[in-house]
Chain A
């Protein structure tokens, strides 16, 4: 079964600084990868997804992620964060067929003014 590891539970960063949230997955077959953001007391919003094709995926709010098959990683990056980016970020993976979407434990991004 596939699994997802988000290496950092909390990431504090100053406003306008770059940020990288790390995500590694375990699967020996083709995977589909996702990043979601959850603002306080809200549902999950899809930031971006990798289904196939280009390994660099651009999403909403200036975020991007790179799929690295050899390192089984799908790290999320943003070159300059805003206070409004403070939220919980979840990486998720699924395989084909009826396999469910499996989530990592989340990374709390705190942007400091």
Chain B
């Protein structure tokens, strides 16, 4: 059983396109995240949702729009893709704040390549 799953694993697309990445967790957690890992392996949080409510929104271009239809899902939609969006995107989840119960637990990642 995969705890945090993402689809697709690889995504190759052209500049200007719109794409979505889906994330699901079966851990029963109430908090989900999107992280971006750049080519130098640096990890930075993009968004955090708690019980479907947005609680962290870092300085991310508004071309990125997260959507949480329920506690177990957090999708990421990206409009008008740019070359600089090429990265690995990780979904993660935790039960509350990481300082309370530990975590978060990460999915396998989606490698996005924009050409």
Give chain A's interface residues, CB within 8 Å of chain B.
32, 34, 36, 38, 42-46, 49, 51, 88, 90, 94-98, 100-103, 105-106
Contact = CB atoms under 8 A, between A and B. Distances in A.
A51 B103 CA distance: 11
B44 A103 contact: yes
Interface of B: 4, 33, 40-45, 48, 55-56, 58, 90, 92, 97-100, 102-109
B94 to A, nearest CB: 9
A95 B56 CA distance: 14
A38 B108 CA distance: 10
Contact of A46 (B43, B102, B107): B102
A101 B104 contact: yes
Q: Which of A32, A34, A43, A98 has the most CB of B within 10 A?
A: A43
Nearest 10 CB-CB pairs, A to B?
A: A32-B99, A103-B43, A100-B45, A44-B106, A43-B106, A43-B108, A49-B102, A106-B41, A98-B55, A43-B109
15 contacts: A36-B106, A43-B108, A44-B43, A46-B103, A51-B102, A88-B41, A90-B43, A95-B99, A100-B48, A100-B56, A100-B58, A101-B98, A101-B104, A105-B41, A106-B42
Contacts of A38: 41
B40 A97 contact: no
Nearest to B46: A100
A42 to B, nearest CB: 6
Contact of A96 (B58, B90, B97, B104): B97
Of B40, B43, B104, B106, which is in contact with the most chain A CB atoms at under 10 Å from its CB?
A: B43
